[in-house]
Amino acid sequence: MKKKITLKTIAKELDVSVSTVSKALKNSSEISLDTREKIQAFAQLYNYRPNNIAISLKNRRTKNIGVIIPDIVHHFFTTVFRGIENYANAKGYNVIVCISDESFDKEVINMELLANGSIDGYIMSLAAETQKKGDYSHLISVVDQGIPLVLFDRVTDQIQCDKITINDEEAGYLATKKLIEGGSKHIALVMNENYLNVDAQRAHGYYRALQEAGLKVDDSMILRLPYQFEEEDKSVQFFKHIVIDGLVSVNEVFAIRCMKQLQQLGKKIPEDVAIIGFTNGILSQMANPSLTSVMQHGQRMGEKAAELLIDRVEGQLEDKQMPFRSAVIQAGILERDSTR
Amino acid sequence: MKKKITLKTIAKELDVSVSTVSKALKNSSEISLDTREKIQAFAQLYNYRPNNIAISLKNRRTKNIGVIIPDIVHHFFTTVFRGIENYANAKGYNVIVCISDESFDKEVINMELLANGSIDGYIMSLAAETQKKGDYSHLISVVDQGIPLVLFDRVTDQIQCDKITINDEEAGYLATKKLIEGGSKHIALVMNENYLNVDAQRAHGYYRALQEAGLKVDDSMILRLPYQFEEEDKSVQFFKHIVIDGLVSVNEVFAIRCMKQLQQLGKKIPEDVAIIGFTNGILSQMANPSLTSVMQHGQRMGEKAAELLIDRVEGQLEDKQMPFRSAVIQAGILERDSTR
DNA sequence: TATTAACACGAAACCGTTTTCGTAATCCTA
DNA sequence: TAGGATTACGAAAACGGTTTCGTGTTAATA
């Protein structure tokens, strides 16, 4: 087992000072070519790599970014994460991930865990519980300390920071309009039983489209589901009692779950009921019939989030004053076989 | 914006030495009760938190673990990751994730990125390209340096380290046997076109089950697919030319893809063709009919991997000599509606 | 030949902790 | 009251780098 090699080791071995070694390895012209070559050769031979931690301490920055997301087993977050990782790695940053599991407490603990110098900034999407509770003190504290923070998808007005979302209201509107254009008149909306700002936005769009088309807006057409699948699902009762010919879902999981139940009730998709979901994941692709869905461009969102964060982190180094930015990614509809 | 507060700040403010502050905050009896209380109160008031980086440098350990996986948009890896994160966080460790994207070069770069003190150890699953290439020098180098390494799922005999897998051969055997017991006689096997040790193991099990049942083993019954979906899929031709009544797939994505194509050819599942897949993900649950599958217990695997790694990291601190361990998680079959 | 400039390198401070060791001041004991 | 023991704290080294500022030696200039 090889021992770790440090500047000190090299210095001792070559009988020069630590500073000389450091400079030589940076190819500083302050050091004679002879010495430089000798030191570099030695370092190469023993495969010297500077200790990141020491450099972090010295520079007061880690080149790590912290990502806190509600869930990882979820196609949308997974694609966002891939985007973040992509961009960050290209810029020489590492990504530390924590999962809040939709829990407020876990979110707070995770932020604490990363707070003390482990990272240069956060990228987050709020836990459902946090949004419900409306308690953002942990975020405020971070922002107060001047630690860069980027919020994506599940954002809040309560915090002043960089944000990145899709145009949820409009996407909800367009999705609903798509069904209306296909001839649907009784359109259900399926959303999370927990309050989420994105769901609320999408619901606005849904309402707007209905009103514009002169269709009746009726709260009994709204189905709220838990994210975890339960056997005696509320949706079973819902579909038995409510007659619909269209369905908008705020995510693909609910859409597919509902599609299956409608099929079991003998409905044909899209002939009897047209369905459109959010999140264009593997589930949407593989469903039978495949699901028309709103593309959220998760990867692009992740890349943009990382870009905003790293911009700010590096801006801070030069004492640059930057206003907070809000980027909006335009969602698009990918038409497949579940709509007409 | 609040300035960062350090031991030095406190020391200066309270007119004591840094060492006194440090000890007082650890409640050392070396410091008088009076002074201790004063310092603790001050620290509390200004919300002092020790700098993790400085502690890492001092302790020569980071409490970070590096995870390198081929893909994150993949249910199995995602659940393993959740298990790792779970266990690690509970032990006070952070998780840094890198994605190799099945590429050898990226794997090497990612390892390098984390190599120099950023983490206390690695948890990895090999990229397809790495397994194909058979070049493990980057892993050898890590092991040589005495950095703990745990390999999961996609492992190799070439490296001496802790490993964790499922009983792939047997799972392949049982899956195939399940179809045979359901009456299937012409069973296809679908696997990745890239070489993966897990696929090879599962294929062994498949062969063994066929032989045991006296069924013909025929390489034309093996379909190799790219992980990325392509429109003019090889499988189309395959299913047109080969008559089958059973299908074993090494993952759920291939299984669902094939199921859909068979359905389009007018086959009934499971009456005409029974299907069983690996990876019990959301896709399997939501498919129509739902997919019988081999549960890989990804989360448990992740937890176990983290346990092995942290054990070794902390064992190293006490100079404990530990033999390398290989844990095997028993896979199980979850029967749903795609088999008879 | 005296003065200065250029060159090549080292000492030391610094980043924020922890920890060992030393030492004044007080206390107890014989 | 001299002696050792105890208490309460500080100085300094260490972790592994970077960087500023000297400084001794040689080379160039007047």
Chunked mean pLDDT (size 10), chain A, 340 residues: 88 96 96 96 96 97 97 95 97 97 96 93 97 96 95 97 98 98 97 95 98 94 87 81 96 94 94 97 92 97 98 91 96 96
Distance (Å, whole) CA A86 – CA A115: 23
Q: Which nucleotides of D are covered by protein (CB under 7 A)?
A: 7-12, 14-21
Could you give the maximum distance between any two Cα atoms of chain B, in Å? 87
Distance (Å, whole) CA B196 – CA B194: 6
Q: Which nucleotide lies at the shortest CA–C1' distance from A17? A: C10
Architecture of domain B62-166+299-329: 3-Layer(aba) Sandwich (3.40)
Distance (Å, whole) CA B290 – CA B283: 8
User: Left (φ > 0), alpha (ψ -120 to 50) or beta: where does A60 sit?
Assistant: left
User: Would you say A238 and A223 are in contact if contact means Cβ atoms under 8 Å apart?
Assistant: yes
A108 touches B at CB < 8 Å = no
A6 touches B at CB < 8 Å = no
Provide the pLDDT for residue A232.
60
Provide the pLDDT for residue A231.
63
Residue of B nearest to A290 (CA): B260
- Strand A94-99 relative to strand A64-69: parallel, antiparallel, unpaired? parallel
- Pick from A102, A101, A146, A138: nearest CA to A121: A146
Asked whether residue B2 carries a pLDDT value surpassing 80, the answer given is no
The residue of A116, A225, A299 whose CB has the most chain B CBs within 10 angstroms, and thus the best one to mutate to test that interface, is A116
Provide the pLDDT for residue B228.
78
Residue of A nearest to B61 (CA): A53
Q: Which nucleotide lies at the shortest CA–C1' distance from B11? A: D10
User: Would you say A233 and A226 are in contact if contact means Cβ atoms under 8 Å apart?
Assistant: no
Tokens of B155: 């492992």
Asked whether residue B1 carries a pLDDT value surpassing 80, the answer given is no
* Enclosing H/E stretch for B54: helix B52-59
DSSP string over A60-116 = T--SEEEEEES-SSSHHHHHHHHHHHHHHHHTT-EEEEEE-TT-HHHHHHHHHHHHT
Contact B144 A114 (CB under 8 A): no
Distance (Å, whole) CA A97 – CA A65: 9
Q: Which nucleotides of C are covered by protein (CB under 7 A)?
A: 7-12, 14-21
Min Cα distance B189 → chain A (Å) is 20
**Residue B324 half-sphere exposure, CB side, CA atoms within 13 Å?**
14
What is the CATH code of the structural domain delimited by A61-165+299-329? 3.40.50.2300
Chain A residues 130-169 within an 8 A CB cutoff of chain B? 144-146
- Which residues lie below 8 Å from residue A152, measured CB to CB, with a gap of 6+? A80, A123, A124, A125, A163, A164, A165, A301, A302, A305
- Which residues lie below 8 Å from residue B252, measured CB to CB, with a gap of 6+? B75, B277, B278, B279, B280, B281, B283, B284, B291, B293
Q: What tens digit of pLDDT does each residue of B105-162 get?
A: 999 999 999 989 999 999 999 999 999 999 999 999 999 999 999 999 999 999 999 9
Residue of A nearest to B260 (CA): A288
Q: What tens digit of pLDDT does each residue of B314-324 get?
A: 999 888 889 99
Domain boundaries, chain A: 7-50, 61-165+299-329, 168-295
Residues, CB < 7 Å to strand C: A 15-20, 29-35, 54, 57-58, 60; B 4, 6-8, 18-19, 22-23, 25-26, 30, 48-51, 54-55, 57-58
> CA–C1' distance A106–C1 (Å)?
79
Q: B253 to chain A: which residues are within 8 Å by CB?
A: 282, 286
Tokens of B188: 């296809």
Chain B residues 50-89 within an 8 A CB cutoff of chain A? 50-54, 56-57, 62, 64, 72-73, 75, 78-79, 81-82, 85, 89
Q: B257 to chain A: which residues are within 8 Å by CB?
A: 286
Tokens of B162: 């802790």
* Enclosing H/E stretch for B128: helix B128-133
Neighbours of B12 (CB within 10 A): 13
Asked whether residue B232 carries a pLDDT value surpassing 70, the answer given is no
Asked whether residue B163 carries a pLDDT value surpassing 70, the answer given is yes
- Pick from A287, A219, A236, A240: nearest CA to A276: A287
Q: Cis peptide leading into B270, omega within 30 of 0?
A: yes
Tokens of A331: 């969602």
Average pLDDT over all residues of chain B: 95
> CA–C1' distance A44–D27 (Å)?
33
CATH class of B168-295: alpha beta
Amino acid type, B86: N
User: Would you say A82 and B86 are in contact if contact means Cβ atoms under 8 Å apart?
Assistant: no
Distance (Å, whole) CA B163 – CA A180: 55
Tokens of B40: 């603790």
- Asked if A61-165+299-329 and A168-295 have one fold, the answer is yes
Contact B97 A98 (CB under 8 A): no
Provide the pLDDT for residue A259.
94
Asked whether residue B231 carries a pLDDT value surpassing 70, the answer given is no
- Pick from B168, B201, B166: nearest CA to B300: B166
Provide the pLDDT for residue B235.
83
CA angle B21, B27, B33 (to 5 degrees): 85
pLDDT tier at B229, thresholds 50, 70, 90: confident
Contact A53 B117 (CB under 8 A): yes
Provide the pLDDT for residue A2.
73
User: Would you say B335 and B318 are in contact if contact means Cβ atoms under 8 Å apart?
Assistant: no
Residue of B nearest to A49 (CA): B116
